[in-house]
Amino acid sequence: SAIPEELHENPDEDEYEGLYARVTDLSVSDILPEKDRMEPGKKKARTVSAADHHNNRELLRSSDDTMARGDEPLLSQGRPSSDHSDERSIEEEDALLTGQKTQQQRNYGWAFWREVGLFVWAAIATALVILFAVLYSHQQQTSKPTPSGGGWKDGRPTGKRNLIFMVSDGMGPTSLSLTRSYRQAATGLPIDDVLVLDDHLIGSSRTRSTSSLITDSAAGATAFSCGQKSYNGAISVLPNRDPCGTVLEAAKRAGYMTGLVVTTRITDATPACFAAHVNHREEEDRIAEQEVGEHPLGRVLDLMLGGGRCHFLPNTTDGSCRKDDRDVVDLAKKNGFSYVSDRKGFDGLNFGTNVKLPLLGLFAETDIPYE
């Protein structure tokens, strides 16, 4: 039976309050005949009742009726009254009986629309700031003049452009600190005096190679020239022995004149890493051949000044250290190089005013003496 058994035994009105709480847990199909069921969503007031099959007593009353117990309202007590309280009571009663939620219309006040406006304004302001930053960066990159008085045209720099990449082989912060301190003490300079190099310091790099925490000049120069780490002894090749393009080769292909000027052998690891590619630094004979143009890219050097003449002379000649009889000086001349090998030839260059490029100058059999 849809009506609890207690209703039959205790028909007094005092039991209606507890009975209401229990009846509201039932669905409308459990307590109402089909002819008396309320259609979902209707808002007009109606009396909901169920007939007991034994005594036909009234179970529920409309919201305008009062309970026999203290004339208390049937629905929630203490609720503030309003112009729409009766309507809301009917909607809530419908929802309890039908199990369907009431449809309420949300009213958006001034505070809500103010927050929406602030959000939209912040989004537009952020987008404008990003746009102006991108436009300014683009203008700076395409219109900023160079220190030599040049500028930019068609996306390329104009004017005179020279770049000297100086490598002090084996020099680190300790070498600079010793030089700075000695100069201050020997010449009576203040302790805050700095070297010319200090004004040009941009940054530093971690010098470890792929094979050791302590690098050698070959792996270090490969990092300088190719921008990639490799193993100790590598001459512009990667750990898998593939050659890597160097900054000097890129400059040559871009139309620059290129050169190497050293106080060591021109085939030593540091200069070699900019113009040659071999698996190990001891292959100086092969490095010499590549530097004069026997190279996958052809001749990439216009000027070479330094020592290491013994690797350019055939082993049948005095002063040679090559393992074969190949004459690399002769190979250089065939590739268009002019050649000087002593102090007289160097002085004849007249500080560069009497230079015919490409030029090969080898002024010592190995490293150039300090004095």
Compute the average pLDDT of residues 97-111: 66
Residue among 229, 223, 217, 268 at smallest CA distance from 246: 223
Task: Report DSSP letters for 215-272, one per residue.
Answer: --HHHHHHHHHHSS---TT-BSB-TTS-B---HHHHHHHTT---EEEEEEETTSHHHH
Would the CA dihedral through 342, 344, 350, 356 be positive or negative?
Answer: negative
- The answer on pLDDT for 359 being more than 50 is yes
CA distances from 141 to 131, 138, 153, 176, 334 (A): 16, 5, 11, 34, 43
How many CB atoms neighbour CB 28 within 10 A? 17
Decide: helix, strand or coil at residue 259: strand
Closest CA to 60 of 107, 2, 116, 114: 2
Query: Is the backbone peptide bond immediately before 358 cis, with ω within 30 degrees of 0?
Result: yes
Residue in 60, 67, 5, 16 with CA at minimum distance from that of residue 38: 60
- Residue of 217, 225, 230, 236 with catalytic role: 217
Rounded to the nearest integer, the mean pLDDT of the chain is 79
Contact 7, 23 (CB under 8 A): no
Whether the pLDDT of residue 304 is over 80: the answer is yes
Which amino acid type is present at position 285?
D
Q: Which residue from 313, 288, 310 is spatially nearest to 301, judged by alpha carbons? A: 288
Active site residue 230: no
Query: Higher-confidence residue: 256 or 137?
Result: 256
Q: What angle do CA 22, 99, 47 make, to 5 degrees?
A: 65
Quick check: 213 pLDDT over 80? yes
Hey, which of 58-67, 157-166, 196-205, 337-346 has the most confident mean pLDDT? 337-346
The tokens describing 264, both together, are 């060591």
Amino acid found at 286: R
CA 268 and chain centroid, separation: 37
Higher pLDDT, 182 or 161: 182
Work out whether the CA dihedral 223, 229, 232, 238 comes out positive or negative: negative
Q: Which pLDDT band, with edges at 50, 70 and 90, does 50 fall under?
A: very low
